[in-house]
Amino acid sequence: MLVKKQIRGLPAYAPGKPIAEVKREYGLDHVIKMASNENPYGASPKVAERIAMVASETAIYPDGYGTELREALASKHQVSEKQIMLGNGSDEVIQFLCRGFLSSNTNTVMATPSFSQYKLNATIEDAQIIEVPVTSSGDHDLEAMLAAINEQTRIVWICNPNNPNGVALSREAFRHFLDRVPKECLVVSDEAYYEYVTTDDYPDSVSLLSHYPQLVVLRTFSKAYGLAGLRVGYGIASESVAQAIDPVRPPFNNNAIAHQAALAALEDEAFIRLCKEKNQQEKQRLRAYFEKEGFFVYPSETNFLLVETGIPGNQLFQAFLEKGFILRSGEALGYPTGIRISIGSKEENDAFLEVAPTIFNTCKT
């Protein structure tokens, strides 16, 4: 069988190891997953209540347009429902954009390291990939990215805050960049960790849509809202962009339970504020520990920390795994001597901090 040449040998996305698999492999009774940037506090209690109400309706197709959720999101962001693009996670919206705008005679510009799905989906569409290394401080090199844009460029990806390092762009830097990007080139601001940002100078990207018609903003329910298992993400764009790519969207790409769960999650902003507060407290505690150990910690505006340890990431990953902690090795993320750790609950972080000194001391020798 002959598949497209551009996907021959292309690696599939590698998620963090499942808890059940680690328990079986290492004979562990308790495993803490700190690899996938999930919300350790789960979802709002309203979500489970809403799911129970609709659990018996699985024989009926969902609303293929997602009317209720579109309207709720449009109201939240003060935009038209025609500007909303619903996806099976924001990953699927990335796929829509690549399918709609990229082809073999186009290119796309992105930072590196950054979120892997930009490059993967662009490669599938046979577009040329132009990668621009982040700066030594982990920032997008916006001047170099701007210089890389040419007449064939269709999409520029800005991951803000960036995954895997958590560094966020400022409002001023982002607007200055947008002012100079050609109007026919999309700028996609992927804001999966938006709800966790605490810095005062983070851009209010949705408010910029009326000034920059080429801007697309991505958000997700998988992180702070705690719906990673239900896969709901969305994009906000100009009506012309959103409506142009809508034919690419598969029918019923969000299931009915996911729609209702997302609606319930939106109703409980107090829960999100509490999660943000706890995340900030625990992030500061973990950062203080790593810095006391002499490690460099990137200034993260997310619910994870990328830590440069000077020790091979795979070695640390394995050492923590054997003790029941699933972290993310930096070797697959573009940081060979780093680890990425999701911010857990206080109890999870207590357990991590209890074993970490011994593991780091052992791996340093």
Domains and CATH numbers, the chain: 14-43+270-364 (3.90.1150.10), 45-267 (3.40.640.10)
* pLDDT attached to residue 4: 82
* pLDDT attached to residue 11: 78
Burial class from Cβ neighbours inside 10 Å (0-12, 13-18, 19+) for residue 139 reads: middle
CA 344, distance to chain mean position in Å, is 17
Is 281 a residue whose pLDDT tops 80?
A: yes
C-beta atoms surrounding 59 within 10 Å: 5
In 57-183, which ranges are continuous DSSP H helix? 67-77, 90-101, 116-124, 142-148, 171-178
**pTM metric for this prediction:** 0.95
Residue whose token pair is 């966020």: 168
* pLDDT attached to residue 288: 98
Residue whose token pair is 């680690």: 22
* pLDDT attached to residue 365: 65
**Phi then psi dihedrals of residue 127, to 5 deg:** -80, 155
Is 220 a residue whose pLDDT tops 80?
A: yes
Is 17 a residue whose pLDDT tops 80?
A: no
| Chain mean pLDDT for the chain | 96
160-169, pLDDT tens digit by residue? 999 999 999 9
Q: Are 89 and 255 in contact (CB under 8 A)?
A: no
* pLDDT attached to residue 88: 97
Q: How far is residue 33 from each of residues 24, 182, 363, measured CA to CA in Å?
A: 15, 42, 21
What is the mean predicted confidence (pLDDT) over 97-106?
97
The Cα–Cα gap between 91 and 107 comes to 19
* pLDDT attached to residue 1: 67
Q: What angle do CA 187, 176, 100 make, to 5 degrees?
A: 10
Tell me the β-bridge partners of 150.
none
